[in-house]
Chains A and B, each alone.
Chain A
Amino acid sequence: MIVMASYLSGAQALVKALEGEKVEVIFGIPGGATLPFYDALKDSNIKHVLARHEQSAAHMADGYARASGKVGVCTATSGPGATNLLTGIATAYLDSSPVVALTGQVAKSYIGKDAFQEIDTVGIYSPVVKYAFQPLSASEIPFDVKAAFYISSTGRQGPVLIDLPKDVQTETAEIEFPERIEIKGYRPYIKPDPEAVKEAAKLIIQAQKPVILVGGGAVKSEVGPLVLELAEMFMIPIASTLMGKGAIPENHFLSVGPIGMHGTYHANTLIMESDLIIGIGVRFSDRTTMDTREFTKDRMILHFDIDPTEARKNLVNEFPVIGDLKESLSILISEIKKMMPYIKSSPWHKRVKELKDYYDDRIFGENVMSPLIVKKIRDILGPDDIVTTEVGQAQAWAELFYKALKPRTFITSGGLGTMGFGFPAAIGAKVAKFDKTVVDIAGDGSFLMTSNSLATSVAEGIPVVAVILDNAVLGMIAQWQRIVYNNRYIASSLGETPNFPALARAYGAEGVRVNGLEDFVKYFKEAVRSEVTYVIDVPISPEENVFPFVPSGKSLREMIV
């Protein structure tokens, strides 16, 4: 069905199509090949946030998407703009985040001729997007935009690229805007097989020592209440992956926190003592399962997910239930209710409670500062405030000690592990939830990778707080070199530079270096209150380790603490 046809340029059609998708904001940097698009954007109410590097633009759109659940939009010019943006798009792809990337491209007649700022954008993006469009006439743009938003936001979500040749943006035509579209070959809705769900219900009823494992899919499909209903029926402990943090409130009495390389001691232990793992919206990544032979030995694995390619991908002997999570879990719960006349009390719950009581919030090691800082951040922030993280030690401390209480309040680069993600993602999240405080839990190494986003934060009036756990080293690298490589440090020391508060002030932000926990609390509270961009530099020892730590190739049982 066609809504209307109008005589427009491709760029105008693009803007109109974006307005049709209710886009509120675009994060990007203009360039030669996107000038027509920007010119058309000038006549629109869509807000534009000017990034200072395209990678950050993509992370901002990603942070916006993860905080809001809406599609995030970013844009870059052709060539270097597109290659810079790529890291951010790959980050979104690995974490199944709905982002639409608009890249400029040289005019059609120059494509493939090594023209100025020309690169095979569709070619290099294809492996890290759900789909890549390259409209070759202005009249194709409305369909491509509608399809891009539909593909990005449905099924297993993910980024979609639209690569726009400059002459396609400038040419004018009578352009029709479809109201509904059909994409042959794309059927994101999958109805769960009722027989498989029934079988899953039986397995859960029979299990003596089950553990629920929630992942990023459980956050995105908002199945927290269903997960809690299932868990409370049998007093099943709920662990999470890094991406699953916040799917259920981590202060719930059955929550045991994350498992994995830097999982909690009790969650990792319970997983390895269990006889059934109920995976919900997880993909059993290597950092979650560690040694997969040990992970699957002596227990059954149930796997609920929307993506058929995840079935048996990482764990060969699992029992997959593929389909919409909300529907799968609803059927599962009603099947269990049919089968179970009463719920028995279990010795397993006693064990869960015993471990949780002893290990919950437990800090391993002496004189460690970082976990205390993270816990203070949790104490001070409200349940709806948002934390983003960088990648490395700071991320692992946040994973272990920041209890996420609501979905979409803990935002981290889990799959790709992109250093520099947290700060621009915080800016994107703040745009989505302007009335909430957004805090980037950062390390000094990661923060420097995208710290020029301070300019965006200040100039555009998007205040966020960066807490830098500043150990003057690439912390996780140094930790590995210390523990796994026998203290043979190389290239992990960053020195005492830069002076982060001075750096912040150079950008027009507030900056402070705190001295001890009490000082931190004072300035952090001020930062939260101040509603200006704030960098809090927290000096910590370069010797601090993140514990528990499961080295590569080991099982979750073999934690170093």
Chain B
Amino acid sequence: MKKERVFFITVADKPGVLFKITNIFRRRNFNIESVTVGKTLAKDESQIVITINADDEEADSFARMVKKLIDVYEVVEAPKDSCYAQELLLAKLEGDPDGLQKIAENYGAQLIKNGTLILKYVGEPANVEELIKDLSQFKIIHISRTGITAVVKEDGKDILRFGR
């Protein structure tokens, strides 16, 4: 069954690695819904978090194909339901600061007033969508979303692990 999957990919921190990984998804015509990259605790390593929509078989095959890349040290794949997944939204806005402040408080977001108005929010992607809808009454100059990053809540049967 198709569902949202999160791949946690630990890689060598060097040029070209992200290209090789995304190319595997591209070759089979999968749209990557989100990708985030950050350093890990280990020196010279990064973690890439990729979200795609795939069934069990596809997820298993992708995980093994990605692990086969020599610059990939570990691949963990989990259904998004089994993860704590969050996204960061930054929105540059124009409009009534008080009205914005109210919305920010409703969502637990932060309004940064520093010459320009910037709203900063961290939450579930669905809530980010809702918030953006609510912001449409103001003038949105620019929004940036990171895509999700996540951690696996607990190791269960539905978690695939390759490498190390």
Using a CB–CB cutoff of 8 Å, the interface residues on chain A facing chain B are 122-123, 126-127, 130-132, 151, 183-186, 307-309, 311-313, 316
Contact = CB atoms under 8 A, between A and B. Distances in A.
Contacts of B93: none
Contacts of B4: none
Contact of A308 (B27, B64, B70, B73): B64
B65 A309 contact: yes
A130 B68 CA distance: 9
Interface in B3-42: 12, 16, 19-20, 23, 27
Contacts of A312: 57, 60-61
Chain B, interface SS category:
helix
A309 B23 CA distance: 16
Given A309-B68, A311-B64, A313-B61, A122 B16 contact: yes
B69 to A, nearest CB: 8
Given A308-B64, A309-B61, A309-B65, A130 B16 contact: no
Given A127-B23, A308-B67, 8 more contacts: A126-B16, A126-B19, A184-B73, A185-B69, A186-B70, A308-B64, A311-B64, A312-B61
Contact of A184 (B12, B23, B27, B60): B12
Contact of A127 (B27, B57, B61, B72): B27
Contacts of A123: 19
Given A185-B12, A186-B70, A312-B57, A126 B20 contact: yes
Interface string B53-80: 0000100110011011111110000000
Contacts of B12: 184-185
A146 to B, nearest CB: 14
A309 B70 contact: no
A151 B70 contact: yes
Contacts of A185: 12, 69-73, 163
A311 B60 CA distance: 10
A126 B16 CA distance: 9
19 contacts: A123-B19, A126-B19, A126-B23, A127-B23, A130-B70, A132-B16, A183-B70, A184-B73, A185-B69, A185-B71, A185-B72, A185-B163, A307-B68, A308-B64, A308-B162, A309-B61, A311-B64, A312-B60, A313-B61
A308 B61 CA distance: 10
B73 A309 contact: no
Contacts of B68: 307-309
A76 to B, nearest CB: 21
Contacts of A307: 68
Interface residues of B, number: 20
Interface string B153-164: 000000000110
A68 B81 CA distance: 52
A292 B153 CA distance: 38
A131 B64 contact: no
A131 B20 CA distance: 10
A131 B60 CA distance: 22
Contacts of B60: 312
Contacts of B61: 309, 312-313
Contacts of A183: 70
A314 to B, nearest CB: 10
A132 B163 CA distance: 21
Contacts of B72: 185
Contacts of A186: 70
Contacts of A316: 57
Contacts of B27: 127
Contacts of B64: 308-309, 311
Interface in B96-119: none
A130 B72 CA distance: 13
A462 to B, nearest CB: 34
B26 to A, nearest CB: 10
Nearest to B68: A309
A535 to B, nearest CB: 40
Contacts of B19: 123, 126
A123 B20 CA distance: 9
A460 to B, nearest CB: 35
Most A-side CB within 10 Å, residue of B12, B57, B64, B69 = B64
8 tightest Cβ-Cβ pairs between the two chains A and B? A309-B64, A186-B70, A185-B73, A309-B68, A131-B70, A185-B70, A309-B65, A308-B64
